[in-house]
Structure 1
Amino acid sequence: MGQKAADIATIGRISAVPAMLKVISDMTGLRFAAVARVTEETWTACAVLDQLEFGLGVGGELDLTTTLCHEIRGSHRSVVIDKASEDPLFCDHHTPRIYQFESYISVPVFRTDGRFFGTICALDPSPAQLRSSTIQSTMESFARVLSLQIEAEENQQRTENDLLEERGTAELREQFIAVLGHDLRNPLFAINFGAERLLRKHPNPTTDPLVRHILTSGRRAAQLVEDVLDFARGRMGSGIPLHLGDCKDLQEALQHVVSEVQSVHPQRLIYADIGDLRGVYGDRNRLAQLLSNLVANAIHHGSHDGPVEVTAHIERGHFNLTVKNPGQIDDQALPRLFQPYSRPTHHTPQAGLGLGLYIVKQIAEAHGGELSVSTTEEQGTVFTFSLPTD
């Protein structure tokens, strides 16, 4: 295997990369994002999120001299452009004209020994306010995470059965969680807090819609980061953490979840039969998250021909939670249904990272419960979670 193919394969094995690109796109609105391997002679795409039909896939190459990454390789500095046609440094530059973009951001990725690897970059034909946001620091945090993951992946490939190397990989995985938690949560909190303060302390009819949009996007990005953290804990760490206790108000929490999803999707019918759930021992918030992910999955991927039905009762010493929706899951999709980044077999764009059912499975297993799914043409699709109460 050549070095280029090896670099592509390494990035392809790092399961957090698609989540990184999705978070970047959601935070900025830029519809093309990529991880590129940049050498003295070549620019090669190792991972791509393309919502622009840019036409560049994994393994695709660009003429290095036509890219800004060529300059970043020399300067080792990030490049951020809000509107190329009005930018004093780039309004006459050949790269924006060749690739027809207005907004652009690219940050360097270094190996852990300091060698230049490539870039994480994103662009869009429309302008975007990037300089005034925290996206540069966020992407630079991603670059540090990616550097650690490249090192961990290559070490694991070389010495998979070596105990000392496995300990080193585990340490890098813990660093991955720590970097995400510190470097991403803090700027997102600042964005959301600032937007909330503007709405409360400085209301302005002209700018309030934009501030609300910023707040909504910030909250969504924060939730995406939480999903990535849950994925990292479940896949690479010590499992999804639980705060176990007597769930006295679990009934109200699950009813709130149903009401919240119903308010976001008023056109869909959601029927809920939630009984007295006193006696359940578990993590109330995680169980509510489990239901929220199941209902969201039913809304987004189930048939629209009928209602989503939620039931939750304590029966014969077990807490049983079911979510039923019309429609049948394809037989080919069933084996990978609870795997991360699993998608339905169609090309309709979907929100989120494809981690919902994976996180549901992790929450169920962390509680010691059982999660199952049945799907038939007559009965539709039914997800069932069962947890002993005795």
Structure 2
Amino acid sequence: MTSITSLPDDDPLCHDVQRVGVIADISLLLEACNAATGMGFTAIARVTEDRWVTCMALDKADFGLKPGDELDVRSTLCHEVRGTRSTILIPDVDASETYCSHHTPRTYKFKSYISVPIMRSDGSFWGTLCALDPKPRDLTPETERLFQLFARLIARELDRQDELEKGRANLQTERDTARLREEFIAIVGHDLRNPIAAVTSGLRMMSERDLPPEQTQMVILEMQRALTRASQIITNLMDFARGRLGAGIEVEAPRPVDLEPVFRDVISEITKVAPQRVECNIDLPNPIVADPQRLGQLLSNLLGNAVTHGDSTHPVIIDIAQRGDQLHASVTNQGEPIPEDVKASLFQPFSRRKGQNSLHGLGLGLYIASEIARAHGGRLDVTSTAEAGTTFALSMPARQG
């Protein structure tokens, strides 16, 4: 590793180090990055044209960097991120044609790496959220999106601090931002650990024991369930954060599409890991103007909710049909009815049923589903009784051109 220097107290960049250090729950954000990737070193770095300074770090790999430490910026890949304003993601340095002979991995002795630019609201580059590890790591597109989301949250917090320093921050906005940050980071840091722990445990069992085929299949199924849940958590978090950052739920529906294959793919994926039987009836004779990816996500959230809360001895029933100028889709499960006082908040973010723990998710799935329905000009309703079960029903226009 190249030489590390520490900033003197009068260095201008000390102010940036201090600003990052006072962000509430910033250590939980780094813990969430570590939990999502398993990478030993994660840092928030201030990167200028000629300097690289650690503002906050989680160092479980003994790289030796702490807040206020400086590296030669030309020895880092963050220097390249600054130049391109684009993410660098390397699951395995040795397998990368671009970086297998690059001086930076050799200098810092890492095999996996990710660096995401932190861009301020005025479009200026501020620094990076980066992580590296001596071992190759499975860095997926979902990992990249998670880091990008956290980078946006950091940038937003820095913008907020600017407003406070200039005396323009609104008190209510501050309270809302603080509450969102605390809920978001605390829940991510806790909930993502569950599926990651399940996969880790399954891999350990398969590597340390000579399991019979039927038990191996069972372990694989549990890992599939965990990975499906982790993917849903990350997708819902991205959409929720985009909505809170002003982007809203994005819908792309330029032309009519055949939705039946989309719905059947979602049903097939979740049916493979569901403990109960899933019965479906789909009657969509005509293409409909809609965003297939978003409606697939809506059905996935509703079906995942039904599988989680439904009685495993009774089937989950899906009915999707075009009736006149409306598309109707419903998902019904048997189980404990939802109390009336809970129904009112079911479509609100971070809403959990009474007694529900984090294993049942973030409380974002139904909120995201209702926002997707709204973006299509439709609505999502719920009915729940002991006799008929719980039904979530979508109704939206079925335009054909």
TM-score normalised by L of structure 1: 0.52
Match of 1:375 among 357, 372, 384: 384
Specify the alignment match of 1:75 in structure 2: 69
Following superposition, the deviation at residue 301 of structure 1 comes to: 2.6
- 1:151 aligned to 141, 155, 158, which one? 158
| 1:242 maps onto 2:251 in alignment | yes
> How much does 1:258 deviate?
1.4
**CA shift in 2, pair 1:18/1:286, >3 Å:** farther
Note closer, same or farther for the CA distance 1:377–1:130 as it changes in structure 2 (3 Å cut).
farther
Contact 2:149–2:241 under 8 Å retained in 1: no
Equivalent in the alignment of 1:252: 261
Matches within 5 A, 1:323-334: 323-325=331-333, 326-334=335-343
The change in CA–CA distance for 1:146 and 1:246 in structure 2 (over 3 A counts) is closer
Report the Cα offset of residue 374 of structure 1: 1.8
Partner of 1:174: none
* Partner residue, 1:282: 290
Q: CA deviation at 1:293?
A: 0.9
Structure 1's 74 and 221: CA in aligned 2 closer, same or farther, altered over 3 A? same
Q: Does the 8 Å CA contact 2:321/2:327 hold for their aligned counterparts?
A: yes
1:366 to 341, 353, 375: 375
Residue matched to 1:291: 299
Match of 1:350, SS state, is: helix
| Partner secondary structure for residue 241 of structure 1 | coil
Structure 2 partner of 1:196:
none
- 1:331-350 alignment, distance < 5 Å: 331-346=340-355, 348-350=357-359
- In structure 2, the partner of 1:27 is 37
Q: Structure 1: any 5+ residue segments left out of the alignment?
A: 1-6, 36-67, 78-106, 113-118, 122-128, 170-208
- Once residues 232 and 254 of structure 1 are traced to their aligned partners in structure 2, the CA distance between those partners, rounded to angstroms, is 25
- Residue 300 (str. 1) matches residue 312 (str. 2): no
Structure 1 residues 372 and 160 mapped into 2: Cα distance closer, same or farther (>3 Å)? Answer: farther
Kept after mapping to 2: 8 A contact 1:20/1:142 = no
> CA–CA distance in 2 between the matches of 1:244 and 1:20?
37
- Name the structure 2 match of 1:270: 278
* Residue 133 (str. 1) matches residue 141 (str. 2): no
Runs of at least 5 residues in structure 2 that lack an aligned partner in the other structure? 1-19, 45-61, 72-114, 121-128, 178-216
Residue 29 (structure 1) shift: 9.7
Cα offset, 1:282, TM superposition? 0.8
Q: What one-letter code is carried by the residue in structure 1 that aligns with 2:331?
A: V
Match of residue 59 from structure 2:
none
In the superposition, relative to structure 1, how do residues 24 and 368 fare at CA in structure 2: closer, same or farther (>3 Å)?
A: farther
Secondary structure of 1:313's partner? strand
The one-letter code matched in structure 1 to 2:136 is S
Change (3 A) 1:144 1:301: same
Q: Are positions 1:233 and 2:242 aligned together?
A: yes
Query: What is the deviation of 1:71?
Result: 7.5
- Give the direction of change, closer, same or farther, for the CA distance of 1:227–1:142 in structure 2 (3 Å limit): closer
C-alpha distance in structure 1 between counterparts of 2:273 and 2:398, whole Å: 32
Structure 1 residues 150 and 256: CA distance shift in structure 2, 3 A: same
Show CA shifts across 1:97-149 (max 9, x none).
xxxxxxxxxx9xx9x9xxxxxx999xxxxxxx7753388x9798677444323
Determine which of 318, 323, 328 is the counterpart of 1:315.
Answer: 323
Distance 1:228 1:154, change over 3 A: same
Distance 1:140 1:310, change over 3 A: closer
CA contact 2:331–2:392 (8 Å) conserved in 1: yes
Secondary structure of the 2:373 match is helix
Indicate the SS of the match to 2:382: strand
User: Aligned-pair distance for 1:232?
Assistant: 2.5
CA separation in 1, counterparts of 2:245 and 2:326?
A: 30
CA shift in 2, pair 1:147/1:288, >3 Å: closer
**Root mean square deviation, CA, Å:** 5.3
Matched position secondary structure for 1:264? coil
TM-score with structure 2 setting the length: 0.50
- In structure 2, relative to structure 1, the CA distance for the partners of 1:294 and 1:151 (3 Å cut) is same
2:80 paired residue number? none
Q: Distance in 2 between matches of 1:19 and 1:368?
A: 36
Counterpart in the other structure of 2:192: none
Deviation at 1:235, TM superposition (A): 2.5
- C-alpha separation in 1, matches of 2:381 and 2:256: 23
Give the direction of change, closer, same or farther, for the CA distance of 1:260–1:142 in structure 2 (3 Å limit): closer
Asked if the contact 2:329/2:394 (under 8 Å) is kept, the reply is yes
